[in-house]
Amino acid sequence: NIAPVPKWALIAVAVAGAILLLLFLICIIRCCCGKKKPKKKERIGLCPVSSSTTASLVQPEMEDLERGVEQMRRGKLQYSLDYNFRTQELKVGVKQAVELKAMDSGGTSDPYVIVYLTSDMRKRYETKVYRKTLNPIFNESFTFQVPQAEVPESTLVMQIYDFNRFAKHDIIGEVRLPLASVNLQHVIEQWSELAAASKVEEEQLGEICFSLRYVPTTGKLTVLILEARKLKRMDSHGLSDPFVKVHLILNRKKWKKKKTSVKKNTLSPYFNEVFVFEVPFNQIQNVDVVVSVWDHDKVTKNEPIGKLFLGCRATGNQLRHWSDMLSNPRRPLAQWHILQPPDVVDKALGLKSHLKLPLASR
């Protein structure tokens, strides 16, 4: 007879079978996982490059963008425009500003506004200064005399500055409004974002047209002053009383002078006056012709509006005009020239100091 199998042997066989089954399952699982692992690695490697990494390289985070916009913001200005076609006056109302950029260490500013037109930058208005605020309420208005014909050529400039008693005033921002882009048939009231201040524009002094003619055989230099236009306003009523001086400079010394009649209350005078100077041919290379426009004043001293000079030492259009005159003897040649600041021209001429005396302007 076969002896019965002990109970402990059956238990041992069952445990061994279970262990073998468990080991088999573990091997299967490890094999399966081992086959899928490379794919998982590949997927993980590609995803960051195509999404998060690339995005961070190409575009900044939204927080960075918002911070950049915040730094760019200078605030907004509310203003009004009212043009009276009958009196030809432009009334500019500076209402208020909001959310101005803080310029002081304490996180505030001391703002005020400067208002002017590019067609007459000499006439500038200022509002009161408001202390320690980024939301000032100005409620001030200013009136400019602007002929209707000049409205399309003018730009209204409103600049907000931060007042500083002991240092240079810092500009917070500005609004530039070309009047040609505005319908002035009705009153305008609007808000505009402040922009960074542009470079200070050069003041427009005006233009002058004259002709030159030189005859080498007789040594006669003829200067015909024809007209001027868009001259700088010099009088309080927005006009000028212009006249023209023509100086001859020989070897950097003042030599001869003539002047036109005075034209009253105009920025576009017509002269048509001729002056003849005797300049020997052997001296023509050493001569500078200085053309200057002045504003006549009965009470105070006459003021120069602008000037320019021609000759072999000149540059640009002035040199070209002079060269054309010498190349075309006996033929009058007319040309427009832009007036330049008097001190700039005087410096370029380099007149000898001991002869640079003030000439009578009468």
Give the DSSP letter string of 231-252. Answer: PPP-STTS---EEEEEEEEETT
Is residue 77 located within the same domain as residue 180?
Answer: yes
Nearest to 292 by CA among 275, 268, 309: 309
Within a domain: 57: no
Domain at 92, CATH number: 2.60.40.150
Task: Tell me what pLDDT residue 59 has.
Answer: 45
Task: Tell me what pLDDT residue 126 has.
Answer: 87
In DSSP notation, 39-107 reads: HHHHHHHHHHIIIIIHHHHHS--HHHHHHHHHHH---EEEEEEEEETTTTEEEEEEEEEESPPP-STTS
Is residue 176 located within the same domain as residue 228?
Answer: no
Nearest to 211 by CA among 334, 324, 319: 334
Is residue 98 located within the same domain as residue 134?
Answer: yes
User: For residue 108, what are the domain limits?
Assistant: 73-193
Tally of domains in the chain: 2
Nearest to 160 by CA among 221, 223, 213, 100: 100
| Total residues found in the chain within this entry | 362
Within a domain: 236: yes
Is residue 214 located within the same domain as residue 174?
Answer: no
The pLDDT tens digits along the chain (362 residues) read 455 656 666 777 777 777 877 777 777 776 665 544 444 443 433 334 333 333 333 444 555 444 444 457 889 999 999 999 999 999 999 999 999 998 887 888 999 999 998 877 767 888 888 999 999 999 999 999 888 888 888 899 999 999 886 667 889 999 999 999 889 999 999 999 999 887 655 567 889 999 999 999 999 999 999 999 989 888 766 678 999 999 999 888 888 999 999 999 999 999 999 999 999 999 999 999 999 999 998 777 888 999 999 999 888 778 889 999 999 998 999 999 989 888 888 888 887 644 444 444 43
Is residue 249 located within the same domain as residue 172?
Answer: no
Within a domain: 66: no
Q: Which tokens belong to 145?
A: 């005399």
The answer to whether the beta carbons of residues 141 and 93 sit under 8 Å apart is yes
Is residue 168 located within the same domain as residue 261?
Answer: no
Is residue 264 located within the same domain as residue 309?
Answer: yes
Amino acid type, 134: L
Task: Tell me what pLDDT residue 299 has.
Answer: 76
